[in-house]
Chain A
Amino acid sequence: MTDQHCKQIFAMLSEYLDGELPVKNCRELERHLKGCRPCIAYLESLKTTVEACRRYKAPRAPALSKQVKAALLAAVRKVISTDLSE
């Protein structure tokens, strides 16, 4: 296994994880993985990173002020009533 090949594989790992890699490249990558433990390990660590991002939840939003809420509701009502009258 050459470093150059690992480098080519490295560039394809995200597309592979997302199921967006063309079939031909997918086969090449899987063939490479069978013989390259470091690349398997890197793929796993990248997968874990993506999973950490998916599980991350931002802090909750503070409540909208009464003024903003009233303005938003009025604007939405206006759009909806225009819609109904058309």
Chain B
Amino acid sequence: MNSQVEQALANLKSGKLEDVEQALETLQEVVYGFGMKVCGVREDAEDTAQETLIRLARQLKEFPDARALAVWLYKVAKTQCLMSRRKSKFAPAQILSLDALMPKESGAAAPAVKSWEITPEEIVLNKELRSKLEDAVLALPKPYRLVLILRDMEQLDTREVAEVMGISEETTKMRLHRARVFLRNALAGYVRRAEMPGARAHD
């Protein structure tokens, strides 16, 4: 659960002017960030944040807890993003096939594996990697992009993502895996993995 959302709900319900202002700023940051990741266009992200906050202010009473608020918030923001006026330069709409994404060589390791030489702990998102990651996310078809952003960037759990998307948990997991593999293939050469002790990928 997003701790920012939890704190924001407490602030909204305190009723104190400064707390409410703080909460609105926090939630604007959350929704704007989500909008940027999904749409990739600043104006769309601003519209998304503004529309979502206006609706939130009117429906504040309906949220018993932070989880309910987070699911509602992302659901509304997702709808706003899908209705965005400006078309992102990437707008593919195909289905990702796991067979097509799978490495062609024997074993799951795939051709690019030799270049993955950085451990997850060592990742520093430099400018080049940030940009490559943003492009790869925007190149994902939207149903996959939304699931990946909600699960891996916004860090909702599988059940919450399924609720936001209005799909089953099984479909959520399937889309997530395909999206991750797509991204992993797109980032090969930028993010590299540590050589496992004694391990050597098929050449």
Contact = CB atoms under 8 A, between A and B. Distances in A.
Interface of A: 1, 3, 6-7, 9-11, 13-15, 18, 20, 36-62, 64, 68-69, 71-73, 75-77, 79-80, 82-84
> Could you tell me the dominant secondary structure of chain A's interface residues?
helix
Contacts of A48: 116, 118-120, 123, 184, 191-193
Given A50-B180, A64-B50, A58 B173 contact: no
B91 interface: no
Interface of B: 12-13, 15, 17, 20-21, 24-25, 28-29, 32-34, 36-37, 42, 45-46, 49-50, 53-54, 57-58, 60-61, 98, 102-103, 105-110, 112-113, 116, 118-121, 123, 125, 129-130, 133, 148, 152-153, 155, 158, 173, 176-177, 180-181, 183-184, 187-188, 191-194, 196, 199-202
A53 to B, nearest CB: 4
Nearest to A15: B173
Contact of B187 (A41, A49, A59, A75): A49
Given A20-B158, A52-B133, A76 B60 contact: yes
A53 B58 contact: no
A37 B193 contact: no
Contacts of A37: 107, 109, 196, 199-202
B53 to A, nearest CB: 6
Given A14-B176, A75-B58, A79-B60, A44 B107 contact: no
A79 to B, nearest CB: 4
Contacts of B120: 47-48, 50-51
Contact of B17 (A39, A59, A61, A73): A73
Contacts of A77: 15, 20
A38 B133 contact: no
Contacts of A53: 133, 148, 152-153, 183
Contacts of A49: 180, 183-184, 187, 191
Contact of B20 (A62, A71, A73, A82): A73
Contacts of A83: 61
B102 A10 contact: yes
Contacts of A72: 24, 53-54, 57
